[in-house]
Each structure stands twice: as C-alpha cells, then as structure tokens.
Amino acid sequence: MKGLFKTKPKTPTELVISTRELLTYADKTTEIRERKREEKVSELNKTILEMRIVLYGSDQSEPNADACEQLTQEFFREDTFRLLTTNLPKLNLGARRDVTNIMANLQRQRVNSRLIACKHLEDNLDLMDILISGYEDSDIALTYGAISRECIRHQSIAKYVLNSGHMKKFFVYLQNPNFDIASDVQATFKVESRY
C-alpha cells in the first residue's frame, strides 16, 4: 500500500519550469502568508536539489547525458539563470550551495557540441554585472564569487569583465576587511587574469 501513492519524478524540463515558477512567485509576491511562503521556499529548495541530482547523479546512479542536455536547454531557454542569480539572497545556505553547483555544471554542459551557457552569457552580459556586484553583499558574496569564477572561464566573458569597469571594482573588493571575501575576490581575479 505504501508505494501506491508515490509521485512520479519530474522530468528535467519540468524541474526547470517548476523552479522558474517558484522563483517568479517568490519574486513578485510581497505580501503572502508566512506558512504559504515557507511551503513555496521548501518546494523550491527541493526542486533545486533535484536539478543538482540530475546534473551530478546520486549515490545510486550516475548522471544521464540526455537528462543533463534537456535540463541545460530548458535552463537557458527562458533565462532561469537570471532568475536564480537575482533571487540568490532569498535562498537558504543549502539551496545556495546547490545553485552554485548547478551553475558550475551548466557552464560545462554541451548541447549539440556547443556550450550554450557561454552563448547565453554573451547575449546577456549584464548577468556578469549582477554577479560581480554581488561582492558588495557580504552575506552572499562567496556564492556570487564562485558562480562568477565559473562564468569567467569562458574566454569571451573574461574579456568582457577585463574591458569593463569591473577591474576597478576588484581592487576595491580586495580591500574588504572580511578575509574570506577578500580571498574569494583574489581567486576570481586570478581566474580572470588568465584570459
């Protein structure tokens, strides 16, 4: 009787759509009941974890290449990258770690032999402005830094950051009194300067 009511796992496409809907709901809703908000945040955390499992696999299974490709295509089709980036401060620490892992993995995922993450970032360079400016928020600076480093590994994105006003900001961010943040900025700066 136990297995009778098990829910069918969501497909990679459904996971991304669900994440987008939950993020949009959280982004637009300012006055909601606390209980309803907690339910939505809990559902969002679970969905983000499921996306990470699709990309990295679990203890019982390896990642499926077709599922990874589906998830990657859907993720960049409707700019879920932007939604997650702008809503990172609203997520709990565990979800932030999962998002960092997801975004790092997606930077290396190939769809039809192409890195669509790179193309997406080239078409939306303002995402790098959001990520690098994330160093100004000490609560989430390390998350933004880790995602920035993964994005900067694309040569065209590194070139954009090097030629933008962000170079001056890095020198300001390096002066941060928080050692962890200053070290993270330095790590990002090193990755950037390689390109």
Dump pLDDT digits (tens) for 72-95: 999 999 889 999 999 999 898 999
Does 27 have pLDDT greater than 70? no
pTM of the model as a whole: 0.87
SS3 39: helix
Supply the mean pLDDT for the chain.
Answer: 88
Q: Amino acid identity of 147?
A: I
> How many Cα atoms within 13 Å fall on the side-chain side of residue 158?
14
CB–CB of 145/188 below 8 Å? Answer: yes
Helix, strand and coil content of the chain, in percent to the nearest 5, comes to 75, 0, 25
Are 127 and 154 spatial neighbours (Cβ–Cβ below 8 Å)? no
